[in-house]
Every structure is written in structure tokens, then in C-alpha cells.
Amino acid sequence: MIPLSVLDLSVVTSGTKPAAALRNSIDLARHVDQLGYVRYWLAEHHNLASVASPAPDVMIGQIAAVTKHIRVGSGGVMLPNHAPLVVAERFKMLEALFPGRIDLGLGRAPGTDGATAYALRSRLDRREGDDFLERLHELILWETREFPSGHPYNNVVAMPDDTPLPPIWLLGSSDYSSELAAQVGMGFAFAHHFASHDAIDAMVHYRNRFQPSAWRATPHAILAVAVVTADTDEEAEKLASSFDLNRLRRDRGQYLPLPSAEEALAYPYTDAERASIARNRSRLFVGSPATVQQKLKPLMDASKPDELMVITAVYDHEARKKSYSLLADAFGLVKQAA
């Protein structure tokens, strides 16, 4: 069966404060580590009332320290927000502390609004336009030490210098990152849960154009999907109602904490809002384990992912843990010893 992984946003709900959401992430990581999930990635978002974690590198260290088997990484570090040397230093440190268990996933979006992005970058060397490729190149050079002769960075070393960078993954929701990941020979993760671009096109494009490199000899494509699973279709639909209202609000620019199912079900939706929810459901797979597998099958058959990364954002933390447990059983994951 295909390996399963987790993408976690440390979701804040109307009944869960941000500090508690961070502790829930640590608890969930322990849980899925024992279930046999292979990877646990933390996202970087800023100035969002619904997301508690703006610093994935901090959470990676906390989660790696309390788990034993699962790889832990960023999904991702938004590289334009950071000096490449800082990223290299922090992830080399993490790799030194937890060898063979760290992933460095990179994104090119700011993960926030324009004003916050400016505040994050106002003390960096700002370039006009999209400078992701330039920053990625510099990050790679901190590892390869292939700066041009006479370059001042030849006298700067990213510590700890006896530890390599962990594997680099490029994240994307369009064809840009799939093309780039294929050209430079890195892993690729596609964000189906919010992308407007066709996942099948991006995944197939990456695999067909992949060029072996010092980073990877073969392609590895991760498909990130939003899933809500419960014992029955009806129960899963109730849990997913929180997602429906939250997505509707986000489309209006209202980034509020995730509402409860009761709040969502009591909301007086208009016909236009219900139509919008129906459209958004194309990015969410809801139901019992058997129903979810049936809904996922056409997408997986066509896109042929090497790994399925699941994001489950529901109001109740125990219901979220159970959703991951049900998926693990349905996909035949092998449980780890406690």
C-alpha cells in the first residue's frame, strides 16, 4: 500500500487557543508515529488566527524529540521570508540532532498577506519580483561550497559543518515547482488541498521530466490531500462542516479560528454560499474509510503519487486523531511498537 504522511497546520479552533493547538500537534505526532505514518510536516503561516505555527523549524525539533520513527520536516519553509544561510544553519542543526529523520520542504509563497510579508522581509536584502530561484541557488551553495573564486561567502561556513543538509523538497500548487523540482532533481510535493492547478498534470509533469541529481537518483512525488474520516459517512460529513464554513470565510478574507460543527450547521447559508461550498468540496475527501478510499482512487490512479500526505482539520482533537487512525487501518499501515 502507498505510504501515508501528515501535514499539520496546528489549527486553532474557536474552542482551542493557539498554545493548546501547538501542544495538540505534538500529541498528534506521537499518535501517528505509532500508527506507521512515515512523515510529519509542519507548515509556515503568519498573521493567521486559524494557524498557530509560524516557525516550523521550532516545532520540528519539539516533535522529533518526542517521536521515534517518523521523519519530521517543513511543509514548508517559505524561503523568500528567510536568509538562505539561516535556513541552512537551522536545518543542519536539526539533522545533527536527529540524523536521518529531518526533511527540508521549501515553498515560494509568503504564507501570509502583503503587509506581513513586508514586515518579515524588511530587514532582508529585498529583490524586486520573485527571487525564490536565487535564494534556492544560494541555499544549495551553502551545502556544496561551490561559490565562485573570490566570493566573500567562501569564508563563511554554515555550522555544524560536519552535518549535511537534510533532503530538500520543493512544494507547489502550480506547474512552476513541479518543473523546477524535476530540473534540479529534488523531491516534489503538490498541494491538492488548495491548488487550482490540476494535480495530475503537475505530478505527471514532474515524473516525466525528472533529472537525476546529487539530491535524488529517482523522482519522489507526494500528493497532499485534505481528508476527514469517521466511522460513518454521516459522522464525517458533520465533522467536515467546520471546514466548509471556514473555507467560505477564508474566501471572503476572514481568517478566523476553525468553528465547531454545531456552529457550522447552524449557520444560515444562502444558495450562493452552498454552491461555493459544493465547489470547494472538490478539494476535500469526506466519509468513512471505504468511502474516502473510493473517492481518492481516481486521483491516485491518474497522478500515481509515491506517497499520500494527509491534512485533517477538524474542530475536535480526538476526532482528528481517530480520523488518522481509521486511515492507517484502511491503508494497511504497520503499527510501530510503543
Summarised one tens digit per residue, pLDDT across range 265-307 is 999 999 999 999 999 998 999 999 999 999 999 999 999 999 9
Q: What distance in Å separates the CA atoms of residue 136 and residue 248, rounded to the nearest whole number? A: 34
- Tens digit of pLDDT for each residue in 155-174? 999 999 999 999 999 999 98
Residue 124 has a pLDDT of 67
Q: How far is CA 164 from CA 76, 79, 134, 140, 158, in A?
A: 19, 18, 21, 11, 10
Beta bridge partners of 258: 13
Q: What distance in Å separates the CA atoms of residue 251 and residue 233, rounded to the nearest whole number? A: 26
Share of the chain above pLDDT 70, in %: 98
Over 80: is that where the pLDDT of 223 sits? yes
pTM of the shown model: 0.95
Over 80: is that where the pLDDT of 127 sits? no
* One-character DSSP codes across 40-84: EEE----S-TTB--S-HHHHHHHHHHH-SSSEEEES-EEGGGS-H
Grid cell digits, residue 101? 529523520
Q: How confident is the model at residue 126 (pLDDT cuts 50, 70, 90)?
A: low
Average pLDDT (174-179) is 91
In single-letter form, the type of residue at position 276 comes to S
Residue 125 has a pLDDT of 62
Strand, coil or helix: 170: strand
Lowest mean pLDDT among 82-86, 116-120, 173-177: 116-120
Over 70: is that where the pLDDT of 128 sits? no
Average pLDDT (39-45) is 96
Q: What distance in Å separates the CA atoms of residue 90 and residue 115, rounded to the nearest whole number? A: 26
> Which one is predicted more confidently, 184 or 124?
184
> Is the N-terminal amide bond of 289 cis, ω within 30° of 0?
no
Question: Is 25 in contact with 72 (CB distance < 8 Å)?
Answer: no
Over 90: is that where the pLDDT of 122 sits? no
Over 90: is that where the pLDDT of 206 sits? yes
Residue 111 has a pLDDT of 74
Residue 118 has a pLDDT of 79
A 10 A CB-CB count for 154 gives 12
Nearest Cα residue to 337 out of 40, 99, 33: 33
Q: In sequence order, what E strands does 88-202 have?
A: 102-107, 168-172, 187-191
Residue 52 has a pLDDT of 95
